[in-house]
Structure 1
């Protein structure tokens, strides 16, 4: 059985993900409204791989932002703190300094000063240029209006705003790093909800953002690469992420110097979002019509997807597979088998290249006296791997198709 000291130690350990709580504050009453709390997806980038904090009972780390300009409050409460005299000399972890060092320079430690600063939101407007607006119908809140602004570091107040905004990356994007704001090849896209305040005037609430780096493409072209995209949890599930991506596309697709739009190491969730937007766009193109889809992927699809939406060939092929699956009658074994084989042939291309290299290596090793013989996967093993790859891919495609069905 555990002794009393061990039990006491365990009771003073809490998950940093559970202890952290965020709020976007629009009005003073929101400070005490726990329904507005949202949680981090991760905290190891601040509290270490264990994501644990020692030394407190009922710990609450409160990281609150004013909804518009992101004035920041950081505080904490607890009902008990470890006493090193009875915890074998072990002191409670430092908590607030670890969080504060990741935040922008000006952080409120007093809730009263934060509430005074909250009034800044009343006259605050998004920095940059309005490039896109849209509305969504919310079952609970009715029609909601959103706007996307493009900004750069020359925009008044944007640098300070971005320094506060980017801190959300630490809690929602793994291996996140803050970008070099002195590099003018970065483009910034910020989304806001435009709402009516309690006094009847318009105010803005931060919804999410994206950063895009403009790379050079030979000979006189540019290749924008989407690097970071984040929609804050209170706004997820309303389709605003797709709208943010659409706004980015609209900014670049009409530019002749833009070769294509790429994505830097997309997460599974972002790839699904990208697939949805690209598939919605490409289904309007003649080359992606049903009669052409059943004939298989062709160069016209890649050419038209590139010309109309700056989609590269690899992504155009993926979009084709999604739209082809959508029109495939999976209850018709012949149709379904034809589709599966088409996708598996594409999935098998990298393996075929590996096999060629593998055979070359085998010949070299055989020619060397005493060279080792390396065994690759058998044909049956390769078929099992390929089948698993296909099944996982089809599951992702079906999720995109389901969303398309709902949105049509």
Structure 2
């Protein structure tokens, strides 16, 4: 039970709590609750990620595994008697849907049961499914223009603030946004979700006159709940979404908005695994023609930066696992791109300094590429080998 205490006689540090430590997240089902912690809380509690005025503060934020309906509660042993102390219930309500239940856990459980008894279903279109590690998964495209689809989005969106640096809510009134949700079919549990924006691209006068659209899909937000991470589900969701978009004639390119390092790693490995099935790696050489690169990139619907990375990764893999390329040729191929990318800054340097800078950049990139490749196996073999490395071990995706 809280007590009212005058702030004047107390030290401020005794009443300051780390918001990241105070917030306890749970996903609950019939068997219990799984706890995890946020990565960020500054969008809710300020840049310092601290909460002032409470002692022994704990903020519970719970979600049902299927409907994701939220429940939250705030507990503390004492609160300062100061009008400037924030009301945590009011703060959290700004970021949660109106359906969120405060304090009354029984009411929350009853409301979830009522939703299910009323025939709650996933408010979207099943666009793909797959099996992984003896579990079945489904990907739904959620219609946020529909009331039930919009409600699910409102229940999910606080995770964007808690797990994506500089994350913000999307404008659901903009019809160019899409929401995709990954479910574990066996446990009827939400595993993760992604949002993508459909940028219209002018297709040229002929296609425009024929009412043909061209779209660039930009992945904006991508989350696998921490309790489901480490199982390759991020790579699986990304790959299956990419496959769906690749089959869509209107989609001409798939890009990603400001990916962090972990997403870049996952994306690189997932793209390499996909290319392993559709691209003749024998054509990827340091002497490859720019016309082939551009034509192939467009057919794969990859952005230029990403396809360049993939070609360089494939060449370094070849360097390590085959005798098709030489170290010098691969190094010069990669340095050429590095030089063109940094041409303006390098042009002011003398020749020796320029060479040193390029070599340092190349070595750092080479180390990073080999880290990304890890134990990935691609369909490349040494001349004279009888066994294809790609068949000896399935490719692993982060």
TM-score (norm 1): 0.79
Matched with 1:162 is 153
2:221 partner SS: strand
Q: Aligned residues, how many?
A: 360
d(CA) in 2 for partners of 1:174 and 1:395? 26
Matched with 1:146 is 137
Question: Contact between 1:67 and 1:121, CA under 8 Å: does it hold in 2?
Answer: no
Aligned to 1:228, which of 221, 230, 236? 221
Q: CA deviation at 1:13?
A: 1.6
Matched with 1:276 is 269
d(CA) in 1 for partners of 2:289 and 2:54? 59
What runs of 5+ residues in structure 1 fail to find an aligned partner? 85-89, 138-142, 197-203, 357-375
Matched with 1:124 is 120
Q: CA deviation at 1:293?
A: 3.2
Deviations 1:90-146 (A, max 9, x none): 864432322221111221111111111232357432121111112222xxxxx2221
**Is 1:306 aligned to residue 331 of structure 2?**
no
What runs of 5+ residues in structure 2 fail to find an aligned partner? 1-7, 208-213, 378-392
Deviations 1:305-344 (A, max 9, x none): 421x311333222101111111213999x93343233212
d(CA) in 2 for partners of 1:395 and 1:81? 52
Matched with 2:94 is 101
Q: CA deviation at 1:383?
A: 4.4
2:107 partner SS: helix
d(CA) in 2 for partners of 1:297 and 1:273? 28
**Alignment root-mean-square deviation, CA:** 2.8
Q: CA deviation at 1:259?
A: 1.8
Q: CA deviation at 1:194?
A: 1.4
d(CA) in 2 for partners of 1:116 and 1:378? 73
**Is 1:401 aligned to residue 395 of structure 2?**
no
**Is 1:58 aligned to residue 83 of structure 2?**
no
Matched with 2:201 is 217
Question: Contact between 2:40 and 2:162, CA under 8 Å: does it hold in 1?
Answer: yes
d(CA) in 1 for partners of 2:164 and 2:295? 33
The aligned runs of 1:133-212 (5 Å cut-off) are: 133-137=129-133, 143-155=134-146, 157-196=148-187, 204-212=188-196
Matched with 1:365 is none
TM-score (norm 2): 0.81
Aligned to 1:292, which of 284, 293, 318? 284
Change (3 A) 1:177 1:91: closer
Aligned to 1:20, which of 20, 23, 37? 23
d(CA) in 1 for partners of 2:139 and 2:375? 23
Deviations 1:348-400 (A, max 9, x none): 113224566xxxxxxxxxxxxxxxxxxx5555554454344334433432233
Change (3 A) 1:13 1:351: same
Matched with 2:235 is 242
Change (3 A) 1:243 1:345: same
2:101 partner SS: coil
d(CA) in 1 for partners of 2:147 and 2:84? 45
Question: Contact between 1:68 and 1:121, CA under 8 Å: does it hold in 2?
Answer: no
Question: Contact between 1:60 and 1:77, CA under 8 Å: does it hold in 2?
Answer: yes
Q: CA deviation at 1:207?
A: 1.2
